[in-house]
Amino acid sequence: MMWRRVVLPLWLLLLLLAGCQQQKPEPFGASGNAVYYWRTTFALDSAEQQFLHAHHIRRIFCRYFDVVMSAQEQQPMPNATLRFESKMPDSIEIVPTVLIMEDCMREPYIDSLAARLVRRIGQMNQTNDIGGVSQLQMDCDYTARSRQTYYRFLRKVRAEMQKQAARQPSAGSRLARLSATIRLHQLAMPAPPVDYGVLMLYNTGAPERFTERNPILDFRDVQPYLHHLKSYPLPLAAAYPVFLWQRILHGVNIEHVADTAQVMLTKRAVEAERSDVRQLILTYHLDKENISRYTPRHYEAIYRH
């Protein structure tokens, strides 16, 4: 009889623990395929809509605006705000994404900036009839100098998200998750206070070394950072390049294109270190020119989980 009194509570405890593990929320919100949208006008043509359908894109990380330091007012201000000319596809989740310049991460600004940023995103969603927004993403090339201020800013953003969710209690519009982009050099720092990071596997090289290496992506620039991945304490998604970069250098027009072999070499190496990067895969970025630049087979290989 005594052993039954002991064993039964243990079984109950194990069942409760198993139940808690099963109910642990998915850090990404949902797994699947996604794209960045990094233009100033949201307008999808037929090729872009077909791409979304063909590659089972479930989420668009859409740049809403940049935050830059205003020279006149000497405070962070929105810039290059996205205009909506097409209706968002009903079957796709939108993740508002904001690019923040590092010089905006100054202590006197972060409280008001977080409140204004979350409020502005909410207003843009309401004005353009965009529903079902459940997460935000911040994109900042922070360094050791700005990291602590940026992390405090992220905590303020989350607090503002919670306030907005309390004001809009319907399940379809609750801001529940916050993510951040993670550049390779940032892997050596403590992780930001967000639900997950998107590892940016593009713009990895120095532009002035273009004769030696492709500045969009060269695996030799990625390889030194791979040893950080296994111990990095944040769930990670991965974003791969599918774009062309044109620039003028000494009066000469130079084009850089993401090399398909380098993309796949990087993808295999990163996934060998971190299995979770297969759960949410992004490409940068959605554009009909990028779609025509690569074959469907290349996109299928990138999005293979």
Residue 294: give its domain's CATH number: 3.20.20.80
Residue 15 lies in a domain: no
Domain range for 124 is 29-201+236-242+266-302
Tell me, what's the pLDDT at 163?
A: 93
pLDDT band at residue 1 using 50, 70 and 90 as cut-offs: very low
What confidence tens digit (pLDDT) does each residue in 249-265 have? 777 788 999 999 999 99
237 Cβ neighbours under 8 A, 6+ residues apart: 28, 34, 179, 196, 197, 198, 199, 277, 279, 280, 281, 282
Tell me, what's the pLDDT at 74?
A: 86
If you average pLDDT over residues 149-163, what whole number do you get?
97
Residue 69 lies in a domain: yes
Distance of CA 16 to the CA centre of its chain: 34
Residue 221 lies in a domain: no
Tell me, what's the pLDDT at 198?
A: 98
Tell me, what's the pLDDT at 22?
A: 44
Residue 80 lies in a domain: yes
* Tally of domains within the chain: 1
Tell me, what's the pLDDT at 171?
A: 45
pLDDT surpassing 70 at residue 299: yes
Q: How many CA atoms lie within 13 A of 228 on its CB side?
A: 18
Residue 294 lies in a domain: yes
If you average pLDDT over residues 196-200, what whole number do you get?
98
Residue 261 lies in a domain: no
What confidence tens digit (pLDDT) does each residue in 21-33 have? 444 568 999 899 9
Residue 258 lies in a domain: no
Residue 216 lies in a domain: no
What confidence tens digit (pLDDT) does each residue in 71-106 have? 887 899 999 999 999 988 888 999 999 999 999 999
Decide: 98 and 117 in contact? Cβ < 8 Å: yes
